[in-house]
Structure 1
Amino acid sequence: MFRHHGKGRTLAHNLRLATLLSFVAGMVNICGVFSVKTLTTNVTGHFAFFAEEMVLENYTLAFVFILYVLCFLFGSFLSGLLTEITSRSKSNFSPALPPMIVEILVLILVWVYSYFYGTTGNNVHIIVSALLFAMGVQNSLVTQVSKSIVRTTHLTGLFTDLGIELAQLIFYRAPSEVKRLKQSIYLRVAIILFFFIGCIVGGFLFKYYELKTLLIASFFLIITLFYDLIRYKLYFLKRRIFTDN
C-alpha cells in the first residue's frame, strides 16, 4: 500500500490507501467540528476568517488563523522531509513509516491534552493547530506515495476533478481513455464516500467517547501500518521460497 511508487502502483494500491486514510480524515474532521467548532482537515476557510478578522481589526484572531495555516504547512513539510530522508537511506523501512508514526502520536497527544486541560479558551487553538498539523502530515504523505493521484483531507479539488472527468467520459471513445477515466472516477468516488463515512461514524462515536474517538482513528492507522508490514514480509518470504526452489 505504501511501498509501491509511481508506475509500480495499481488501482488496488491507491484504493486501499485512499479509503483507509480518507476514512480517518473524516473522523478527525468531525471531531474538530464537535469539540472545537472548527474544520481541521483543510485551510481554505481559515484564509477567509483571517481576512474577516483583518477587516474587523481583530489582529490577534487574524494571527491565530494564519497560525492554523502554518501548522498545516509545517505538517506537510515535516512529512515530506521524513519521507525523503527515509527513502534516501538504504533501510528496509517504508518511507511512510515516520510520517504515520508522527500522525498517530499527534492524534493521541491531542486526546491526552484535552483530557487534562479541556477544550475551552486558548486550548481550542492548541487542539485545532495540532489536528491541522496531523492532517498536513497525512495529506503530504498520501500525495507523495500516490504521485498526487490520491488526496484524503479535503474534497473541493476532488469534486472539481470528478466533474471534469464525468464530462470527459461523454466525449472520449478510445477504450484505453475510457478505462483510465472510469478508474479515476471510481477512485475519487471512493475517497469522497469514505470521507463521509468517516464523518458519520466519527460523529456517532464522538457522542459517546468525545475526543477519545481520535484514539480509534489512531488505531486504524496502526492497523494500516501492520497490514502493510505483513504484506511486505509475506512478499519477500514467497520470493525467497521460490528462489530457493
Structure 2
Amino acid sequence: MRMPMTPRRMPQPRPTHLPFWWTDIHRSPSLNLRLGLCLCFIAGAANAGGFLAIGQYTSHVTGMVSSIADHLVLGQLTLVLASLAALGAFVAGAMTTSLMVNWSRRRHLRSAYARPLLLEAGLLLVFGVFGASLQAWPWAQASLFTPLTVLLLCYLMGLQNAVITKISHAEIRTTHVTGLVTDIGIELGKLVYPNRSPIPGRVRVNRVKLRMHLLLVTAFLLGGLMGALGFKYWGYATTLPLVALLLLLVAGPLLHDLRHGHWAPDAQTEWQASELLRPDPPPHTDTAPSEDRGR
C-alpha cells in the first residue's frame, strides 16, 4: 500500500536576464544562446591558454584521432597511448556530465546543468593553482604537470561540451568551431543562391541560425584572445576570471537547491519524484458479462 504524500511543488522559472540563472533547468532558445556564448568564451580562453602553457590544444578531438593514426603508422606507441588517454579523458568528461545531469533531473533539481559547470570551475582552479606552484621547478613541470594538464583540460572540454549539447539538443557546441563554421558556410550559400522566381521550393537562408553561429565563433575567438594575452602577461592567474564567470553562471540554481535542502536527495526523494511523473491509471471498466445480462 502506497503512503500518501504531499507532492513537491515544481520550481518556477526565474528572470532570464540575470546571468546567475542562465544554467537553470527551465530553458529557452535565447537562454541557451546566452549560456553558449559564455561557454564558448571560456573554451576559447582555456584552449589558447592551455596551448601557451603546455603547447597543445585540448579540445581538438579530430586532431587527436588523426594523431593516433599517424603515430601508429610511425610506430610511436608511446604517443599513441598519450593520444588515446587524451581522447579517453574527453569522453570521460562527457560521460560525467551525462551522469550528473540525468541524476539531477530524476530528482527534479534546478541545478541539473549547473553541477557539471561547478565541477569544471573547481578543476580549472586546480589547474591554475597547480601550474603556478610548479613554475619554480621546471623538471616537475615537464615530467608531471604537462601530461596531467593535457588530461585535465581534455576532461574539462568534454564536460563542458556535453552540458550545452544536452541543454540545446545538440544545436550548440562550445569547445570546437568546425561544425559552426560548416553551418555558417551552408547558410551563406543559401544567402547568395540566385532565386529567380518565387517558387514554393525556393532556397531560404536561416538568418537566426546564421547569426547564432557567427556569435558563437566570435565568442570563441574573443575567449582565445583573452586567454592568450592573459597567459602571456599574467600566467596562471588568468584562470581566476574564468572560474569567477563559471561560478556566476551556476550560482542561482545551486543556491536554490541548497536553500531548499535539495542538494543531495536520497532514494526516497527519487521515488517520490517518479511517483509525481507516473500517469494516472485509466478508469476501470468491467467488461465481464453481468449475471443479469440475457435474462
State the TM-score, normalizing by the size of structure 1.
0.84
Conserved 8 A contact 2:187-2:210: yes
Match of 1:67 among 74, 81, 85: 85
Alignment partner of 1:113 is 2:134: no
Given that 2:89 and 2:155 are in contact with CA atoms closer than 8 Å, whether structure 1 keeps it comes out as yes
Once the 2 structures are TM-superposed, how far is the Cα of residue 113 of structure 1 from its aligned partner?
A: 2.0
C-alpha distance in 1 between matches for 2:252 and 2:40? 17
Whole-Å separation in 1 of the counterparts to 2:104 and 2:254: 16
Contact 1:15 1:187 (8 Å CA) reproduced:
yes
The superposition leaves residues 94-151 of structure 1 with CA deviations (integer Å, 9 ceiling, x where unpaired) of 2112101111111011122222334322421110110110111000000001111111
Matches within 5 A, 1:78-227: 78-91=96-109, 93-118=110-135, 119-170=141-192, 181-226=206-251
- Evaluate the alpha carbon distance shift between residue 230 and residue 78 of structure 1 in structure 2; reply closer, same or farther with a 3 A threshold: closer
Structure 1 residues without counterparts, runs of 5 or longer: 233-245
Paired residue secondary structure (2:234)? helix
Equivalents in 1 of 2:129, 2:174: separation in Å?
A: 25
- Report the CA distance between 1:227 and its aligned residue: 6.0
- C-alpha contact 1:2 1:145 (8 A) present in aligned 2: no
Q: Which amino acid aligns with 1:212?
A: A
| Structure 2 unmatched runs, 5+ | 1-21, 136-140, 258-295
Q: Distance in 2 between matches of 1:46 and 1:225?
A: 31
SS at match of 1:121: helix
Aligned counterparts of 1:33 and 1:227: Cα–Cα separation in 2:
32
| CA shift for structure 1 position 47 | 1.6
**Does 130-139 or 55-64 show the bigger shift?**
55-64
What is the CA-CA distance between 1:169 and the residue it aligns to? 3.4
Q: CA shift at 1:4, angstroms?
A: 5.2
Aligned to 1:2: 23
Separation in structure 2 between the aligned mates of residue 4 and residue 44 of structure 1, nearest angstrom: 31
* Aligned residues between the structures: 225
Q: Residue 38 of structure 1: which of 52, 56, 60 is its match?
A: 56
1:178 Cα deviation from its structure 2 partner: 5.2
| Matched position secondary structure for 1:41 | coil
> Residue 18 of structure 1 contacts residue 191 of structure 1 at CA under 8 Å; is this kept in 2?
yes
Q: How many angstroms apart in 2 are the aligned matches of 1:213 and 1:99?
A: 21
Structure 1 residue 166 displacement after superposition: 2.0
Aligned to 1:25: 43
Taking the aligned partners of 1:54 and 1:160, their CA distance within structure 2 comes to 29
1:230 & 1:190 partners in 2: Cα distance? Answer: 30
Does the CA contact (< 8 Å) of 2:64 and 2:83 recur in 1? yes
User: How far apart are 1:231 and its partner, in Å?
Assistant: 11
The answer for the alignment partner of 1:51 in structure 2 is 69
Bigger fraction of residues in helix: 1
Residue 52 of structure 1 deviates from its aligned partner by 2.0
For residues 17-57 of structure 1, the C-alpha deviation after alignment (integer angstroms, 9 at most, x for no partner) is 12111000010001111010100123111122222222221
Deviations 1:175-218 (CA, angstroms, capped at 9, x unpaired) = xx958x11111110000001000011111111222122122211
Give the Cα–Cα distance (whole angstroms) in 1 for the partners of residues 256 and 232 of structure 2: 35
Percent identity, aligned pairs only, is 27
CA-atom RMSD in angstroms: 2.4
